[in-house]
């Protein structure tokens, strides 16, 4: 962002750029970390996966998700254009990874058991939706009346070992990154003026190492 601001052609434009560094979730990761640290893991681990992931699920269920987040220095309805670029999935995926990191620390043998724990899966799904809604509400709060919001989000990741043929898609393994409800949530909060889909390849396959990429959706909203 700083580099882009410095490349603006007119000094008057450069002077108008104000860079703010903040947690755009308004502390979700901090809130979750605090709850994880309060758990008596030394007592839970001997009781097995059920107890450990029940505790993790409870942390997700009770974690405070400010809705909308309050960002110091950014007022309500101040901006004609608000852009959210490829951050949406990170807002919930990093906190969820923090939970798995904690499990890895206290009970590495249980890592992977979360896939078979229904309460944890339900709590994680609900957490994702709460974070997404909070971010959409933040965009709505920041943009002025009749202003424009641009939302770009990866929605599916994939790995592949064939590239440059008509059959590339047949050689992919995909993984969803955001809930299926995302399009409906977007339409609940905004009028969709335009929607585009494209692919973003981050790595091509090389010497037995698979390539990686993302399917991305872009919305122009009002």
Higher pLDDT, residue 142 or 207: 142
- Contact at 8 Å (CB) between 57 and 123? yes
Is a pLDDT exceeding 80 seen at residue 5?
A: no
The pair of three-digit structure tokens given for residue 70, joined into one six-digit string? 């309050």
pLDDT score recorded for residue 62:
96
> SS3 sequence, the chain?
CHHHHHCCCCHHHHHHCCCCCCCCCCCHHHHHHHHHHHCCHHHHHHHCHHHHHHHHHHHHHHCCCCCCCCCCCCCCCCEEEEEEECCHHHHHHHHHHHHHHHHHHHCHHHCCHHHHCHHHHHHHHHHHHHHHHHHHHHHHHHEEEEEEEEEEEEEEEEEECCCCCCCHHHHEEEEECCCCCHHHHHHHHCCEEEEEEEEEEEECCECCECEEEEEEEEEEEC
Q: Which of 30-44, 121-135, 206-220 has the lowest mean pLDDT?
A: 206-220
45-56: pLDDT as tens digits: 999 999 999 999
The Cα–Cα gap between 136 and 84 comes to: 9
Going by pLDDT thresholds of 50, 70 and 90, the confidence category of residue 69 is very high
pLDDT score recorded for residue 83:
92
166-191: pLDDT as tens digits: 556 677 889 899 999 999 999 999 99
pLDDT score recorded for residue 4:
67
198-222: pLDDT as tens digits: 999 888 888 878 889 999 999 999 9
pLDDT score recorded for residue 206:
84
70-127: pLDDT as tens digits: 988 888 998 999 999 989 999 999 999 999 999 999 999 998 889 999 999 999 999 9
Torsional class of 164: left (φ above 0), alpha (ψ -120 to 50), beta (otherwise): left
Going by pLDDT thresholds of 50, 70 and 90, the confidence category of residue 17 is confident
Delimit the domains of the chain by residue range: 2-221
């Amino acid at each position: 962002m700083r580099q882009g601001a410095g490349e603006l052609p007119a000094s008057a434009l450069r002077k108008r750029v104000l860079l703010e560094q903040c947690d755009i979730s308004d502390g979700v990761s901090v809130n979750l970390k605090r709850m994880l640290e309060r758990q008596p893991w030394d007592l839970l681990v001997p009781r097995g996966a059920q107890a450990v992931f029940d505790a993790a699920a409870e942390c997700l269920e009770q974690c405070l998700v400010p809705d909308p987040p309050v960002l110091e220095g950014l007022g309500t309805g101040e901006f004609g254009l608000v852009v959210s670029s490829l951050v949406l999935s990170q807002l919930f995926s990093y906190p969820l990874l923090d939970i798995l990191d904690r499990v890895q620390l206290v009970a590495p043998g249980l890592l992977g058991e979360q896939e078979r724990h229904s309460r944890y899966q339900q709590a994680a799904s609900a957490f994702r939706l709460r974070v997404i809604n909070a971010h959409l509400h933040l965009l709505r709060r920041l943009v002025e009346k009749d202003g424009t919001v641009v939302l770009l989000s990866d929605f599916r990741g994939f790995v592949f070992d064939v590239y440059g043929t008509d059959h590339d898609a047949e050689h992919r393994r995909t993984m969803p990154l955001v809930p299926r409800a995302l399009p409906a949530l977007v339409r609940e909060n905004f009028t969709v003026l335009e929607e585009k889909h494209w692919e973003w390849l981050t790595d091509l396959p090389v010497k037995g190492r698979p390539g990686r990429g993302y399917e991305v959706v872009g919305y122009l909203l009002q």
